[in-house]
Amino acid sequence: MIELILGGARSGKSRIAELRAQTDYTTNPSNNKKIVYVATARVYDDEMAERVKLHKQRRSQQWLLIEEPLGLANVLATHNHPDIIILIECLTLWLSNLLCDTDPSQFLGEKQKFLEQLQQSKAKIIMVSNEVGLGIVPMGELSRRYVDEAGLLHQELAQISDRVTLVVAGLEQDFKTPGS
């Protein structure tokens, strides 16, 4: 099961993703079941540190935290088991990490490896990402590439996801559900 949860900044998408992971964890008990929280954020300043702190306070301490800003495919490969729930927070941060890395061409290779590993995974995967394509077209080249790549990534993920949800003002709207 692959889920994609999209929304704007402070839309409530992270809270909904965490609730879905916790609900699946508690309603499908197994001695081996665990939640793996994959954080892609890099902390560059006090504001980001505060955001990370709030996310940590909201999560259960029982969840396994993996901080991985670039290599999501490797995390999926390592935790490829049906008793694992992987929550990835957030794909647009991962995208910006790759695009702003010392080798921006690395993005296409990492994206392809991620998409392949995602489709091979036996784990339940919940991905959180910012919907950034609803506003005006950015002025700078990097900003335009970022919006374009995020939109293209979301389209590819929506195709292979079993469930796609948009969150606005804390309210969720499913655009794709299992079997649809």
Active-site position among 55, 79, 81, 154: 55
Q: Give the pLDDT mean for 32-60.
A: 82
Q: Give the pLDDT mean for 16-26.
A: 92
pLDDT band for 17, please (50, 70, 90 cuts). very high
> What's the chain's average pLDDT?
91
Share of the chain above pLDDT 70, in %: 97
Q: Give the pLDDT mean for 64-92.
A: 95
Number of structural domains (the chain) is: 1
**What pLDDT sits at residue 124?**
96
pLDDT band for 71, please (50, 70, 90 cuts). very high
User: Can you give the residue range of the structural domain that contains 104?
Assistant: 2-175
Peptide bond just before 90 cis, omega within 30 deg: yes
Q: What is the pTM of this model?
A: 0.92
pLDDT band for 104, please (50, 70, 90 cuts). low
DSSP 3-state assignment of 29?
coil
Task: Tell which wins on pLDDT, 48 or 171.
Answer: 171
Asked whether residue 180 is domain-assigned, the answer is no
Residue 58 pLDDT exceeds 80: no
pLDDT band for 12, please (50, 70, 90 cuts). very high
Question: What is the Cα–Cα distance from 79 to 32, expressed in whole angstroms?
Answer: 12
Q: What CATH number corresponds to the domain at position 87?
A: 3.40.50.300
| Residue pair 52/37 in contact by the 8 Å Cβ criterion | no
Partners of 168 in the β-ladder? 171
Task: Tell which wins on pLDDT, 68 or 103.
Answer: 68
Q: Is 79 a catalytic residue?
A: no
Give pLDDT tens digits for 115-164. Answer: 999 999 999 999 999 999 888 888 899 999 999 999 999 999 999 999 99
Q: Which residue shows structure tokens 């995208």?
A: 95
* Six token digits for residue 166: 């948009």
Asked whether residue 23 is domain-assigned, the answer is yes
Q: Give the pLDDT mean for 38-66.
A: 82
Strands (E), 93-162: 124-130
Q: What is the DSSP string of 12-27?
A: SHHHHHHHHHHHHHHH
| Residue pair 113/152 in contact by the 8 Å Cβ criterion | no
Q: What is the DSSP string of 100-111?
A: TSS-TTHHHHHH
